[in-house]
Amino acid sequence: MSKKRRAFSAEFKAKVGLEALKGIEPIHVIAQRHEVHPVPVSQWKKEVSERLPEVFAKPSAQVRDKIERNRKEKELYARIGQLQMELEWLKKKLAHLGSKEHRSMIETEHPKLSVARQCELLELPRSTYYHHPKPPKEADLALMKQIDEIYLESPFFGSRQMTRWLQREGHVVNRKRVRRLMRLMGLTAIYPKPSLLKKAASHQIYPYLLRTLKVERSNQVWATDIISIPVCGGFVYLCAVIDRHSRIVLAWELSNTLDASFCVRAVQRAMAIYGKPEICNTDQGSQFTSAELTQSLLAFGVRLSMDGKGRCLDNVLV
């Protein structure tokens, strides 16, 4: 089996050749210490002796040009990388803009960037840039006006009911056209959506305590609820607190929002005037299950009672 030929690095050759050039030890001793043959050690010594003056010599014009080219090449690669990073950052910032804003950025008279290149940089299709939407037809405008009038009277009409109503009025339309026009106008049927009665996970529901309880004295049971009052331009909301035994309104608060704060103020005002009740009964609305209200009552030792789900008569007295 033949022995594998060894390969030596340039650093190793320079080190061994420099030791041989110093002449402190014989070549055969240096070769034995580094486990190589004396012949290549002599060759390395000769090469070091011949090339050592080149280290102190001034570089030639060709070498200087090569060094300068390498320096400029590194600078260009660094500049290209920086520009690529800045371009990616700019594209991310422009991504949320619509085609209308992108079209306004195109400069048709730019001396160096063509329209095609500007569209490519903005990631805007050229067909989108050159497209000019046609105005709606007169027939569609008249039909949209009638759809708007019908929707104001019956906002629960979807595209199916709207199509049937228009057909009964003598219009030759199908559901696809009515649906397209309603989407263009931003009209959707108003109806109860699913999952509207899901309670918040952090809101605790308390059991109904009045089913077999006999109310015999004041401050035994209080009840509170919210009612909406229509006014010009919207609604205001009234929260009332009553005593179940005497049926006296103990306190009330008005608010134009349905947060829990005005309910808390009504209960606190009632307790400041009449003292605390033994039980406070409410429904399962988010205002009454919120920690803002429940914790303020529990802090005074008041027991909480809540109507059953779907039991509108449990708190009918309020």
| pLDDT confidence of residue 298 | 92
| pLDDT confidence of residue 310 | 58
Does 76 or 318 have the greater pLDDT score? 76
Lookup result for tokens 């109507």:
307
Residue range 71-86, pLDDT digits in tens? 899 999 999 988 888 8
Q: What is the 3-state secondary structure (H, E, C) of the chain?
A: CCCCCCCCCHHHHHHHHHHHHHCCCCHHHHHHHCCCCHHHHHHHHHHHHHHHHHHHCCCCHHHHHHHHHHHHHHHHHHHHHHHHHHHHHHHHHHCCCCHHHHHHHCCCCCCCCCHHHHHHHHCCCHHHHHCCCCCCCHHHHHHHHHHHHHHHHCCCCCHHHHHHHHHHCCCCCCHHHHHHHHHHHCCCCCCCCCCCCCCCCCCCCCCCCCCCCCCCCCCCEEEEEEEEEEECCEEEEEEEEEECCCCCEEEEEEECCCCCHHHHHHHHHHHHHHCCCCEEEECCCHHHHCHHHHHHHHCCCCEEEECCCCCHHHHCCC
Strands 249-255 and 279-282: what pairing? unpaired
| pLDDT confidence of residue 144 | 92
Residue range 157-182, pLDDT digits in tens? 999 999 999 999 999 999 999 999 99
Q: Is the pLDDT of residue 132 over 90?
A: no
| pLDDT confidence of residue 164 | 94
Q: Is the distance from CB of 262 to CB of 239 less than 8 angstroms?
A: yes
Residue range 15-36, pLDDT digits in tens? 888 888 888 888 888 888 888 8
Residue range 174-205, pLDDT digits in tens? 999 999 999 999 999 988 777 656 666 677 88
Rounded percentage of the chain residues whose pLDDT exceeds 70:
92
| pLDDT confidence of residue 192 | 77
Q: Is the pLDDT of residue 314 over 60?
A: no
pTM for the structure as a whole: 0.41
Residue range 222-280, pLDDT digits in tens? 999 998 898 887 789 999 999 998 999 999 999 988 889 999 999 999 999 999 999 99
Average pLDDT of the chain is 85
| pLDDT confidence of residue 46 | 86
